[in-house]
Chain A
């Protein structure tokens, strides 16, 4: 592996010779070395996108297994399988094969449930990843392209979810399919034609399951794969962003190399994600289609909901007033058109264009590789909180009948809560977040100026009581700190600057002897000076030292 053509002598080991043979032909040693040396920041929030990636890998593998047994046909059959409550019931071949998959195929139900849980996790991970990117400003130039790709990935993930949800052709998904059909029909002018194009005729027809199947297992996954590859290649090309901190500049990335440290962490995370999906798939029942029954357009059940990621559209539909627009000549724009097509269209358009909008409004066209703390950009943070609040109100409203039932609240009250809440709560969230950001900023400045509150109260000869503050750096003649805020987290407890002995190592239980740590700490000099001289030998402020990711506020070494 380590051998290159530039080595003075020919490699002696078998593996080395083989590697040389390969490299002679493909010339991969250079790129491979660069790739393996890529540095990943070690902050935990950089792993959120990876969760989505691993969930996608689980989806590909488990989904492939499901295709072996699933039959995407709407042909009518009579069930004669093992599940007694449905024996003799007419159903589509798709539903029958899903029942067979669940009850007759070895491990079929487990894999189906892993697939479904992984799908829910996939979209959830994308959303949290997006939230992290948004609030830290990681989408700013030069990363707008990757932001756009990310938004497209999110939309495709939703489409994956919708098509996959419909495949079993059970009563729940059929109800969802009917709503999809109604949404397509609600498109002005082209609605009917679009519906005919998608369903090959009137609802429900005999084609839609087969078409959704091809979209679900071939077309959308192919696009997803290509875009994920592009997303990652651009990431490698542009390099990671990182939080500001000691030794971190716009021109470097501090963290672990891909090989071996990060590869180890990534593999571990892959197994954690897989373990979680397997645990959920094995322990928690999801989408028990045998209980829902086969789809029959004459039947609709109470509590028919989409999966969580479409819940916000269900909610917007429930909240929107029944404002049909009747035009002369028998043309109608149904109320459904506004909360679904227009609502979702607007939300995703604004989301996709946000980097450009912010660039326009702030006039900031510079390239950024250092992230911002959310408190330092109060307007963006408040806008994000506002958007999230709006989304969450819609989301809650998507399940408002279940909430009304379980918590014994009037369904009408839930609807009006949603209607008023989606208008009133977002501005309130904006205001509150904005004030919170300013408050946090001020506190940072205060600590930089006056030092950390030590909790030590001293009585002056005059009788006045003061609290002793520990300055973070050199002070002027008034005792005010000279440090400027550097965009990194400011230590606010004495423990974070070595005021106490360092924390005992161990996550669940201590893995070292507290008394031994105490003894060592007593041998070492205490206070800021000792801590500083100790830390200067370390390249980055790792979270393991003192539990904070950086040493912000500390006078920084001259930058390179």
Chain B
């Protein structure tokens, strides 16, 4: 692991440059300037390659002498395979708005450097990304990537600038009632008492939390997608986040003891029911009685 940490930037830089070189750069106005820079880059690349070669040698030598490390190595191999696969998916589906280097494209999409795998997980696994068109806010669509593909995209973005990632383990391991208090204090003002969602200004909205996975809720709190503020670990500790998730998922799963929940939408839905079903039924009833006079 220490080897990948030490050189985490360099080989990827090289990889991305390679990508650039493969692309026809004719349309770029900065092509001339780049040529001038290229010799310097090539030198730096050579240095990096040398370093890498040394590290790989060390690694190979180490693994030769320490058989127990083979597994770890295989893991890093699969990781780099995942990053490469993720890059290919990125080039196919994301590059238009987020740019060739994840740097973002003005008026289209933000930079993804440093957003972390949590953000990718939330946006892609809820079907918000890839975006179909520019709107007030990315709507949820059916998810187009498989879980494996999402993991590859996450690995690719995580490998380029790092960022927050969703922890593993039981994400509901918290205090239920405290989660409720935190939810009402921090979340209800947009997502409604029970996470039914609500309208924000100009077509934006806080979505319903119905049917989300624990990881998606955690990722949303951690990364603050769309108009949502980021609830970093200083605002809500990981324990508090788990409590909130516990509360949200508990009341989502909870049966409604009073009967049909009518969307748990409160007085507007209740008013609709009393006028349409209640008054409607009674008008029908008295009309019937009128014909029976």
Q: Which residues of A contact B (CB under 8 A)?
A: 42-45, 47-48, 51, 84-89, 102-103, 109, 113, 116-117, 120-121, 124-125, 128, 171-172, 255-256, 265, 268-269, 272-273, 276, 280, 282-288, 291-293, 296, 298-308, 311, 399-405, 408-413, 507, 542-544, 547
B266–A308 touching, CB < 8 Å: no
- With both beta carbons as reference points, the residue of chain B lying nearest to A299 in the complex is identified as B184
For B291, what are the chain A residues with a Cβ–Cβ distance below 8 Å? 44, 507, 543-544, 547
Chain B residues near A51 (CB, 8 Å)? Answer: 282, 286
B68 interfacial contact with A, CB 8 Å: no
Query: Do the beta carbons of A43 and B290 come within 8 Å of each other?
Result: yes
Q: Mark B260-293, 1 if CB is under 8 A from A, else 0.
A: 1110111111110111011101110111111111
Q: Is the pair A410, B136 in contact by a Cβ cutoff of 8 Å?
A: yes
Give the chain A neighbours of B250 by CB distance below 8 A. 84-85
Q: Mark B234-276, 1 if CB is under 8 A from A, else 0.
A: 0000000000000100110010111111101111111101110
Residue of chain B at shortest CB distance from A79: B177
Q: Given contacts A89-B181, A121-B279, are A299 and B188 in contact (CB under 8 A)?
A: yes
Asked if A44 meets B258 with Cβ closer than 8 Å, knowing A128-B279, A301-B192, the reply is no
Are B266 and A121 within 8 A (Cβ)?
Answer: no
- Beyond the given A307-B270, A404-B205, please list 12 additional residue pairs across the A-B interface where CB-CB is below 8 A: A47-B290, A85-B250, A85-B254, A89-B180, A109-B258, A128-B279, A128-B283, A171-B188, A269-B289, A284-B260, A293-B181, A402-B198
Cα(A405)–Cα(B269), bound, Å:
13
A-B contact pairs, 6 of them (CB 8 A): A88-B175, A255-B293, A269-B286, A272-B285, A292-B193, A304-B266
Given contacts A47-B286, A405-B197, contact A280 B180 (CB under 8 A): no
B contact residues around A296 at 8 Å (CB): 184-185
Asked whether B87 is an interface residue with its Cβ less than 8 Å from the other chain, the reply is: no
Contact B275 A308 (CB under 8 A): yes
Contact flag A402-B265 (CB < 8 Å), given A85-B176, A302-B191? yes
- Measured CB to CB, the closest approach of chain A to B26, in angstroms, equals 43
| Bound complex: CA A11 to CA B279 (Å) | 48
**Residue in B177, B201, B261, B267 whose beta carbon sits within 8 Å of that of A305 in the complex:** B267
Which residue in A87, A286, A311 is a CB contact (below 8 Å) of B258? A286
Contact A285 to B189, CB < 8 A, known contacts A84-B176, A311-B271, A410-B202: no
Q: Return chain B residues, CB-CB under 8 Å to A116.
A: 270
When the two chains form their complex, are residues A89 and B292 in contact, meaning their CB atoms are under 8 A apart? no
Q: Do the beta carbons of A285 and B200 come within 8 Å of each other?
A: no
List A contacts of B265 (CB < 8 A).
Answer: 303, 402
B176 adjacent to A299 (CB under 8 Å): no
Task: Find out whether the CB atom of B189 lies under 8 angstroms from the CB atom of A120.
Answer: no
Cross-chain contact B290 with A44 (CB below 8 angstroms): yes
Q: Nearest-CB distance from A207 to chain B (Å)?
A: 24
Residue of B260, B267, B286 touching A306 (CB-CB under 8 A): B267
Contact A282 B259 (CB under 8 A): yes
Find the A residue at minimum CB distance from B279. Answer: A124
Please judge, given known A-B contacts A273-B282, A276-B282, A302-B190, whether A284 and B198 are in contact too, CB under 8 Å.
no
Is B199 close to A, CB under 8 A?
Answer: yes
Indicate if B29 sits at the interface (CB-CB under 8 A): no
Decide if B271 touches A307 in the complex (CB within 8 Å). yes
Determine if A405 and B251 form an interchain contact, defined as CB atoms under 8 angstroms apart: no
Q: Does B203 contact A (CB under 8 A)?
A: yes
Contact among B192, B201, B279 with A412 in the assembled complex (CB-CB below 8 Å): B201
**Cβ A302 vs Cβ B258 within 8 A:** no
Q: Which A residues touch B173, using CB under 8 A? A: none
**Smallest Cβ distance from A417 to chain B, in angstroms?**
13
Q: Are B202 and A411 in contact (CB under 8 A)?
A: yes
Does B184 lie within 8 Å of A47, measured CB to CB?
Answer: no
Whether A308 contacts B270 by the Cβ 8 Å rule is: yes
B260 adjacent to A411 (CB under 8 Å): no
Point out the residue from B136, B185, B273, B285 that lies within 8 Å of A269, measured CB to CB.
Answer: B285
Instruction: Please indicate the chain B residues that have their CB under 8 angstroms from the CB of A280 in the complex.
Output: 273-274, 277-278
B171 → chain A, closest Cβ, in Å? 17
Using CB atoms, name the residue of chain A closest to B260.
A284
Mark interface residues in B144-158 (1 if CB within 8 Å of A CB, else 0). 000000000000000
Which chain B positions have C-beta within 8 A of A400?
199
Tell me the B189-245 residues at the A interface (CB within 8 Å): 189-194, 196-203, 205-206
Tell which of B193, B197, B274, B277 has the most Cβ of chain A within 10 Å: B274
CB-nearest residue of chain B to A291: B194
B259 surroundings in chain A (CB, below 8 A): 113, 282-285
With A42-B290, A285-B256 as known contacts, state yes or no: A308 contacts B282, CB within 8 Å: no
Closest A-B pairs by Cβ, 7 of them: A44-B290, A308-B271, A302-B198, A285-B258, A42-B293, A410-B203, A404-B199
Distance (Å) between the CB of B279 and the closest chain A CB? 5
Looking at the complex, which one of B275, B283, B293 makes contact with A542 (CB distance below 8 Å)?
A: B293
| Least CB distance, B244 to chain A, in whole angstroms | 12
Q: Which residue of B lies closest to A543 (CB)?
A: B291
- How far apart sit A268 and B199, CA to CA, in the bound complex (Å)? 44
Query: A299 and B270: CB pair below 8 A?
Result: no
Is there an interface contact between A276 and B278, defined as CB atoms closer than 8 Å?
yes
| Cβ-neighbour of A302 out of B188, B268, B278 (below 8 A) | B188
Q: Which residue of B lies closest to A283 (CB)?
A: B259
Please, which residues of chain A bring their CB within 8 A of the CB of B289? 44, 47, 265, 268-269
Q: Contacts of B254 on A, CB cut-off 8 Å?
A: 85
Chain B's closest residue to A170 (CB) is B193
> Once the chains bind, are B198 and A405 in contact (CB under 8 Å)?
yes
Cα separation A45 to B199 with both chains bound (whole Å): 40
